[in-house]
Amino acid sequence: MGFDIETARITALPDEAFYISDFINEGEESRLLQKVKSAPLPRWTQLSRRRLQTWPSALTESNALLASPLPDWLRDPIIEPRFNELGLFNDAPHQAPNHVLVNEYCPGQGIMPHEDGAAYFPLVATVSLGAPIVLDMYDKHAQNDTAAKAGDARPIENGPRYRILQERRSLLVTRGKMYTDLLHGIAETRRDEKLGPESICNWELLRDKEAYQQGWFERETRTSLTYRDVLHVAKIGNTMKFLR
Ligand SMILES: O=C(O)CCC(=O)C(=O)O
């Protein structure tokens, strides 16, 4: 009998979100971290508040992905077999993720509230490595004037509407209205606090509630692997024809 994703549903959230605390084991986590760390330096984009790897490549200006497979270490065991067994991307146009962002946050670093936009099918699957972190979700209308895009966001005066604690080795899946109607961000702090069953909407699904009973934890370096399906994939052959 396979794992029933319904047991992982975050019921406090208005639309589809799922949290699986033990998605990968410790050996798999250290192998993935090793692969991330051993990537050649030019693979990294250093941003002011985190650093980033983009696999297999950055999107084009028209938000297309140049067709190219993900490397094996990002596929096995996360996509094959785990995502496939859960049927996670069955409804997505390519029935599998074709794009992964690797984000590394040192203590004090984060990402401003933003939305991921129309380049992707509205489903994000995030694997957390190395340390826990709190993801904040904001109502879109709390953001004044233009909607924010990743890297082009501004702070929000009101606090987050929902907070999700992501433990190391966990999987967080958000889709539907969670993707389209809310912004997400990670606070630039050295300590995540005010943690508890009232404030953390996936509290009951945590692997180790005891670790957060005191209501806070000190940040350590946390790495995330964010899997998505880019809607528009351009065949390299066609692109070459176009360039000629
Ligand atoms: O690191 C995370 O969990 C969030 C990453 C993110 O928001 C993004 O890549 O757009």
pLDDT digits (tens, 9 = 90+) for 76-130: 999 999 999 999 999 999 999 999 999 999 999 999 999 998 999 999 999 999 9
DSSP letters spanning 14-38: SS-EEEETTSS-HHHHHHHHHHHHT
Distance CA 163, CA 185 (A): 10
- Residue 161 CA, chain-centre distance (Å), reads 18
Q: How many CA atoms lie within 13 A of 232 on its CB side?
A: 10
The domain of 75 spans 5-243
Question: Under a CB-based contact definition with an 8 Å cutoff, are residues 105 and 221 in contact?
Answer: yes
Out of 163, 165, 186, 221, mutate this one to test ligand 1's pocket (max ligand atoms within 8 Å of CB): namely 186
Out of 226, 227, 228, 230, mutate this one to test ligand 1's pocket (max ligand atoms within 8 Å of CB): namely 226
In this predicted structure, the answer to whether residue 240 has a pLDDT above a threshold of 70 is no
Q: Residue 101 CA: which ligand 1 atom is closest? A: 9
Residues contacting ligand 1 via CB (< 6 Å): 101, 103, 111, 116, 126, 135, 150, 184, 224, 226
Q: Residue 105 CA: which ligand 1 atom is closest? A: 1
Choice between 180 and 11, residue whose per-residue pLDDT is larger: 11
Mean pLDDT over 168-189 rounds to 94
The reply to whether the predicted model has a pTM over 0.85 is yes
Q: Into how many domains does the chain fold?
A: 1
In this predicted structure, the answer to whether residue 241 has a pLDDT above a threshold of 60 is no
Residue 130 maps to which CATH number?
A: 2.60.120.590
Out of 52, 53, 101, mutate this one to test ligand 1's pocket (max ligand atoms within 8 Å of CB): namely 101
In this predicted structure, the answer to whether residue 142 has a pLDDT above a threshold of 80 is no
Q: What is the mean pLDDT of the chain?
A: 91
